[in-house]
Structure formats: structure tokens, C-alpha cells
Amino acid sequence: MAELQNIKWSELGFSYIKTDLRYISIWEDGKWDDGKLVEDNKLHISEASTGLHYGQQCFEGLKAYRTKDGKIQLFRPDQNAKRMQQSCDRIRMAAPSVEKFIDACRQVVKANESWVPPYGSGATLYIRPFVFGCGDTIGVKPAPRYIFSVFCMPVGPYFKGGMTPVNFATTGFDRAAPSGTGQAKVGGNYAASLMPHEEAAEKGFADCIYLDPSTHTKIEEVGAANFFGITKDNKFITPSSPSILPSITKYSLLHVAKEYMKMETEESDVLIDNLEIFKEAGACGTAAVITPIGGVQHNDKFHIFHSETEVGPVTQELYETLVGIQLGDVEAPEGWIVEV
């Protein structure tokens, strides 16, 4: 085990830290090169790159966890790899294979082992793989060259305060168009979210809730995370829509709720005017895992779920079970864990 960096792990936020090495691979003439680890965290690309002008780029986010016995493991990296392939296909980019994706992530984590936070610190190693189009292309068409890169950094909780309820407000902006790129993890979706997020934050909310772009009657996403609710009869419900990003955390929670907690689960419409069916609610994603939702402001009505200050018991159990799997304290379903 490499000697750990001298960092106050428990004080980390969610921000960029330059670590020792990152992975880079180039696609050209129909194939990817072997890829390599490099020290330089700067990329030198053509001014005519499609990733700069036409948004031909996508990214992923996953984490490495240190277990109680000091091992390091990745959580479901094959699912991130497959989602990246879907994103690349949607905007006509070359995509790394699942094997190349996982190998790149393992290489980066192993090369930066001293940056993997210790077990019990509340911190994790965040991994950011990305692909973008580069080369000399000024017309609106796929790039002749692509870069696939992976870097990592230790992070603390995404929201200050960690696992504590926060409030959200609905927005009139749309996150994605019907039949658009909502299911792809492309940068344009996130650039479009910056203004609605700022407006929500100025009003004292953690972020905004996006409603379906067609009718504005159904919850789609909560900021950059997926929504879930626990009904009064203990059912786990999460929205279903072709413009929602398929969250790996959400699908993991669906499995945990059904197989570990013996709950009924459902992907269906979640009407914004019918929040009273839920006793608890949360937002889920790789960065925060679960963010409990205290209340939701919609028009002139503020709906409170379990509490604005305390985490609901079902949400707490979901969180502890999933994090337990990620940290190696709870037995994982087959294929979910990849050791580094």
C-alpha cells in the first residue's frame, strides 16, 4: 500500500485537485492507440476541434473506494463504460470499449493510489473519464480524431453538510428537449443547467427540479441528479422518461430497495402536483450518492416530505446499504465490484 498523501481527508469538498498521473488515448484512422499515463494535466488541441465548437464531447463520473482491509475497488465501472458508449453513439463519436474503459480507470487509480482516501474518512476518489472530438474540422460533422482521457481526485461530500436534507424549487426551464440528448451525458445538458441552478440558489434552494419538457407536470431530474420517492405504503418510485439520464446510482438503488430491503419498486410518472403520496424523497447520483430532499417549492406551494432537518429512515437505510456495498462492508451483487 502506497503511503497516503498528507491531506485532511474529512475536510475535503467537491473540487478539483491535481493528482500525479492521468490516462490519455487517441483515436485516429479508425482505431484507438494503446493509451498511456502522463503527468501533464493540460491538453493541446486544434482551435478547430469539434469538441470546442459543436459540443461533440461526453463524460462520465465514478468512484474508487478503499475498504476496511485496505483494498481499493471500483463500483460498477462496466455500467459507466456502456453509458459512455451510448453517449458517444448519440453524437457520433468513437467510443472506447468496455475493457479499455475499465483498464484506463484501473491504471489511473493504481497510479494515484496515495490519493485514495482511507476507509472511514468520508472521502472517496472521484474518477472523470471523458471523450471529445478534436482535429481540424470547421464544418458541422464528426471529428477526424478523438481523445479519451481519465483523471481522478479525492473528494468529500458534493453538498456541504453531507447527508442532510436540502430544499429544491421547480424551474420553468427545460433540462432537455423531447427526443433530444437528455439520455446522453453530454456537456451541453450541463451548460444549459447553469442559469436555472443560479436562479434557484439565489432564492435559497440547493438546486432546481426539472419538469418534463412536453407538459411541465412531471418530475424528471433534480439538478444533475435523479429523483426518487418513498410512498406512504413503502414503495420506491423513480421517474420514467426518455429524456432522463440513466443514473447508475438510481438503478443500483432500485436493486437495493427490491432485493435487500424487500420493497416494491417502480419507474413511472411522478406528478409534481401529487407529492403528498411520498413520505420521503431524495436525489441520487455518483457525486452525492443520496441527497435527502426536505421540501420542494412549486409555484406558490411548498411541500415538506419527512423533515427539513432529519433524514428519513428508509432513505437512511438505502444510503447505508449502497455505501456499504461500495466500501466492501455489505456483500455486493455479482459483477458490481472491480478490484484495482
Between 204 and 224, the higher pLDDT residue: 204
Domain with CATH 3.30.470.10 in the chain: 9-155
Is the distance from CB of 121 to CB of 9 less than 8 angstroms?
yes
pLDDT computed for residue 178 by the predictor: 87
CATH topology of domain 166-326: D-amino Acid Aminotransferase; Chain A, domain 2 (3.20.10)
Is the distance from CB of 182 to CB of 65 less than 8 angstroms?
no
Active site residues: 185
Gap between the terminal Cα atoms of the chain: 12
Would you state the cell numbers that stand for residue 283, as one nine-digit string? 436525489
Residue 160 has pLDDT above 80, yes or no: no
pLDDT computed for residue 157 by the predictor: 76
pLDDT computed for residue 163 by the predictor: 82
What's the pTM? Answer: 0.95
pLDDT tens column, 299-320: 999 999 999 999 999 999 999 9
pLDDT computed for residue 158 by the predictor: 74
CATH 3.30.450.40 fits 9-155, yes or no: no
Cα 182 to its chain centre, rounded Å, is 14
Domain with CATH 3.20.10.10 in the chain: 166-326
The model's confidence at residue 215, banded by pLDDT at 50, 70 and 90, is very high
Residue 240 has pLDDT above 80, yes or no: yes
Is the distance from CB of 252 to CB of 308 less than 8 angstroms?
no
pLDDT over 70, % of the chain? 99
pLDDT computed for residue 51 by the predictor: 98
Tell me what the mean pLDDT of segment 142-164 comes to.
89
pLDDT tens column, 243-287: 999 999 999 999 999 999 999 999 999 999 999 999 999 999 998
Residue 167 has pLDDT above 90, yes or no: yes
Any long-range contacts for 307-311 (C-beta under 8 Å, 24+ apart)?
A: 307/165, 308/165, 308/167, 309/164, 309/165, 310/165, 311/163, 311/164, 311/165
Tell me what the mean pLDDT of segment 210-236 comes to.
96
